[in-house]
Structure 1
Amino acid sequence: MTNSPAGMGSSTPVNVSKLGYVGFETPDVDRMVDYYTKILDFKLVERSETQAFLTTNFDHHSIVIEKGDVNPRSFVGYEIWEDISDAQRRLKEAGYDVERRTDIAPSTPDVLIVEEPSTGIPLHLYDAQSGSGIDGYTPIRPTKLGHVAAFVPDLKPLQDFYQGLLGFKWADTIGDFFVFLRCNSDHHAANFMASKVKRSLHHIAYEMRDVNHLQTMIDHLAKNGYQLDWGPGRHGPGHNLFTYHKDPDGNNIELFTQLDVIHDESKGYWEPRPWHNDFPQYPKTWEVDVMTINSWGPINPALMEH
């Protein structure tokens, strides 16, 4: 396991600044739009017969729903904090095929596309989105798309790619099979679980403001017939409070709050919290045990199978 950035020859990694959006393919676009708008309270920004753009915040979209087979991680978009042409040059210098397109979405007129190694998932790199038009606060809606977790055949190529090419930083690892990576002060924006048999999505996560916001959403889920598969609980890596339920296509959806953050990069440890076991709490490799998965106790074996 490589827990430090991999090299890109003489090139400097692209400066990814945040997770922007995720693409979902589904056989029933209407059903998924209803789930996101009526259950999770996302705003529908644009819609066609085969595609829908939805958001939680000021960006044009956080989720893109497209007509197709069930595929909950058909592409992932990351915002970069630099010039698109410069990023394109460095990606090519590093030996990666890069496509530049202007027709990806109405809000992102200039996008670089590079494939994630070993999975072939297209990654969209862009410098900004147009606005969503959201002009008010709602008591239910999540604050943002937080992170995406996926099954992959081998962790090392993915970790080397994200750290060496996209500038992510190592946040934590569980055993030798689950790695957490960050692109800003949040504990993780991407995490990967090694699996010889499973592919695609492990879960997608949306941030809630605080415990009261999370409780309000759980009550809203229950009122609309969505029951929890796991949680509430507290993870070890990231120390976030969590719940998991399934969307209409059976994808695992995490709602979380209290995720660890690094406010001072020069110190390199997570902002101290009373529930931390180490002081200071640095990134580390965690033992594979119940306290790591959920310090409150119960685990869901199905979500930990790999």
Structure 2
Amino acid sequence: MVKARRVGHATFETPDLEKAIAYYGEFMGLIVAEREKDRAFLATKIGQLVIELNKADRAHCIKLSFEVAPNSDFGELARELSNDGVRSELRNDSVPGMGQVLSFKDDKGTTIDLFKDWSYLAKHAQVAGVGPLKLGHVAFFTPDIQRTVAFYERVLGFRVSDWIGDFFCFMRCNTDHHTVNFFTGPDVKLHHIAFELKDFMHLENSCDVMGQKQIPIIWGPLRHGPGHNVATYHRNPDDQVVEFFCELDQMKDEELGYFEPRPWHRDAPQRPKRWTPGKTNVWGPSPEEDFHRTQ
């Protein structure tokens, strides 16, 4: 079984490449690490690649990359994937700072790139805008959530952190409560993408930036129940939902099986569970209608 260790970057197709670059650069506070005619690569101020943009006819998240252990043997991983009925290939797509990748598709058709060699693209750069620390998680609609959850458990080594009812699943591959989320829906498409901020003050500053840029907050600030992160949500120029968050639950010890205790937890200890729909927030407003609108 492959053991994904962290999410690397997400690849988006966008019909307006210039507008997308301006959003991620001027508002989000990411650094354009490399630019080509029809694609661009953006990194955090720390220097980690988090977003690849490709010019296309529609807005869509087409690929995720995950880091594996540095001593991983891609040949062995390819054989393990084949045993699970997954075809893979070694590729080098000239992604800045990243070496060869082992590429395949998940059960819903999203491309997954596994990588082990990478380098920083910047070093503590001074940026305008929000300036997130990292890409935190990516959530998708999927028509068969049980199949998708099983794929990520069996093939990529993810663990279930929480469910909301039987239609929303949170999954982790490291100490973070979730790195991918899956929500039941008729079509495969992005539900939201989330970026981690340093702390609550950083989140407050991001709200001020949204106010200055006249970007409406469509949900939040609030503290979720699953993951207990404090979060806000807005839409980017491609009409996709973007989350800023901090204070996400941490599973420090898998054998102990509970999340690092925090005063806002209602369960003692807080273990993975199935939450009741409609009773999943610790505090904060209900989402605006615009949050539930599909693109």
- 2:154 aligns to what? 164
- 1:190 aligns to what? 180
More displaced 10-residue stretch of structure 1: 21-30 or 133-142 = 133-142
Alignment partner of 1:54 is 2:42: yes
- 2:117 aligns to what? 128
Segments of 5+ residues of structure 2 without an aligned counterpart are none
Q: 264, 275, 291: which one pairs with 2:264?
A: 275
- Write out per-residue CA displacement over residues 153-199 of structure 1, whole angstroms, 9 at most, x where no aligned residue: 01111111101110001100000000000000000000000112x43
Q: Retained in 1: the 8 A contact 2:164–2:274?
A: yes
Q: Which amino acid aligns with 1:218?
A: C
SS at match of 1:180: strand
SS at match of 2:283: coil
Query: What is the distance in 1 between the residues matched to 2:262 and 2:110?
Result: 36
Q: Which amino acid aligns with 1:52?
A: A
Q: 27, 33, 41: which one pairs with 2:29?
A: 41
Alignment of 1:135-214 (within 5 A): 135-136=124-125, 140-196=130-186, 198-214=187-203
Query: What is the distance in 2 between the residues matched to 1:29 and 1:220?
Result: 22
- Write out per-residue CA displacement over residues 263-291 of structure 1, whole angstroms, 9 at most, x where no aligned residue: 122211000111111000000001111x3
More displaced 10-residue stretch of structure 1: 220-229 or 177-186 = 220-229
Q: Which amino acid aligns with 1:189?
A: T
Q: CA deviation at 1:57?
A: 4.8
Q: CA deviation at 1:113?
A: 1.1
- 1:75 aligns to what? 63
| Shift in CA distance, 79/194, structure 1 to aligned 2, threshold 3 Å | same
Query: What is the distance in 2 between the residues matched to 1:304 and 1:287?
Result: 19
Q: Retained in 1: the 8 A contact 2:31–2:127?
A: no
Query: What is the distance in 2 between the residues matched to 1:261 and 1:70?
Result: 36
Query: What is the distance in 1 between the residues matched to 2:145 and 2:124?
Result: 41
Q: CA deviation at 1:134?
A: 2.2
Q: CA deviation at 1:58?
A: 4.4
More displaced 10-residue stretch of structure 1: 241-250 or 68-77 = 68-77
More displaced 10-residue stretch of structure 1: 279-288 or 123-132 = 123-132
Query: What is the distance in 1 between the residues matched to 2:126 and 2:270?
Result: 34
Q: 13, 29, 37: which one pairs with 1:25?
A: 13
SS at match of 2:112: strand
Q: Retained in 2: the 8 A contact 1:101–1:109?
A: no
SS at match of 1:91: helix
Q: CA deviation at 1:120?
A: 0.8
Q: Retained in 2: the 8 A contact 1:293–1:299?
A: no
* Aligned-CA RMSD value: 1.8
Q: Retained in 2: the 8 A contact 1:150–1:192?
A: yes
SS at match of 2:254: coil
Query: What is the distance in 2 between the residues matched to 1:60 and 1:278?
Result: 35
TM-score (norm 2): 0.93
SS at match of 1:163: helix
Q: 78, 103, 107: which one pairs with 2:97?
A: 107
- 1:3 aligns to what? none
Q: 248, 256, 265: which one pairs with 2:245?
A: 256
Give the length in aligned residue pairs. 291
Q: CA deviation at 1:296?
A: 2.6
Q: CA deviation at 1:92?
A: 1.5
Q: CA deviation at 1:137?
A: 5.6
More displaced 10-residue stretch of structure 1: 162-171 or 262-271 = 262-271
SS at match of 1:130: coil
Q: CA deviation at 1:108?
A: 2.3
- Write out per-residue CA displacement over residues 11-44 of structure 1, whole angstroms, 9 at most, x where no aligned residue: xx11100010101111111111011110010011
- 1:287 aligns to what? 276
- 1:15 aligns to what? 3
Q: CA deviation at 1:104?
A: 4.9
